[in-house]
Amino acid sequence: MMLLQKGRYTARTAEDQADVEAAQRLRATCFGLDVPLDTDSYDSQCTHVLIEEAATGDLVCCYRLLTLHGTDLPQCYAAQFYELSPLQSYEGLMMELGRFCIHPERSDPDIQRIAWAAMTRLVDAQDVQMLFGCASFAGTETEAYLDSFAMLRARHLAPPRWLPRVKAPDVFRFAARLRRKPDAKRAMRRMPPLLRTYLLMGGWVSDHAVVDRQMNTLHVFTGLEIGAIPAARKRLLRALV
């Protein structure tokens, strides 16, 4: 299904297995895997979104979405790593965003804008009330990201009622361990683009990062309540839809 076309790019949902495999191939490239396709059991449950260059059809970005209620949270991808029972009482419809990646040779900021605009269309169509997922830092060493984690601790921790608990065996408890005042410029420079976008829209994070050695990342659980997105930011997103 075509979601939108703006400028050089189109956004659509995957129509068949070939589309899903194209997304899996891009994911393997972006994640630096030694396999041709990045696959897991969640792919068959998700809606896959493809951002393509209109003139060539080249796939430049992809992500997947899983719609669920709070009681379904134990079946989501993030539940492998985070204890999400506090969120199971959330009454609105939720959507998990996963495997968001942009081709490493593409740096056009319009790609991410189109990706979020397409997501906005799907969120609005289903009346989703919360978007969540795992936002990743490259590598498993924390040193380069201490200012970023300090900023997350100072400004962006989840409300206590929704705060995910520790489940993974290897975590960095940055909220408990860091007492430094963050250098704001350095913090935002090292903040992953996806997480930066979440934060600009009012998103919040877990108080710890999971050390995922299989994917060679550090990731934090990230939530965004749709009703909390600033009105100006909503207008910018919906202007593209």
Q: What is the mean pLDDT of each run of 10 residues along the chain (241 residues)?
A: 92 98 97 95 97 97 97 96 96 97 94 93 95 97 97 97 97 96 95 94 97 95 93 77 61
C-alpha dihedral (25, 26, 29, 34), degrees to nearest 10: -20
- Whether the CB-CB separation of 227 and 134 falls below 8 Å is answered with no
Whether 57 is in a domain gets the answer no
- The count of structural domains within the chain is 1
CA 94 from chain center: how many Å? Answer: 14
In the prediction, which pLDDT does 44 show?
97
Whether 78 is in a domain gets the answer yes
CA distances from 92 to 67, 80, 89, 98, 228 (A): 11, 22, 9, 19, 14
Whether 93 is in a domain gets the answer yes
Whether 59 is in a domain gets the answer no
Domain span including residue 207 = 65-239
Whether 45 is in a domain gets the answer no
User: pTM of the predicted model, to two decimals?
Assistant: 0.95
Strands 47-53 and 9-13: antiparallel
Q: What is the residue type of 157?
A: L
Whether 200 is in a domain gets the answer yes
Whether 71 is in a domain gets the answer yes
Whether 151 is in a domain gets the answer yes
Q: Report the DSSP beta bridge partners of residue 10.
A: 5, 52
3-state secondary structure of 239: helix
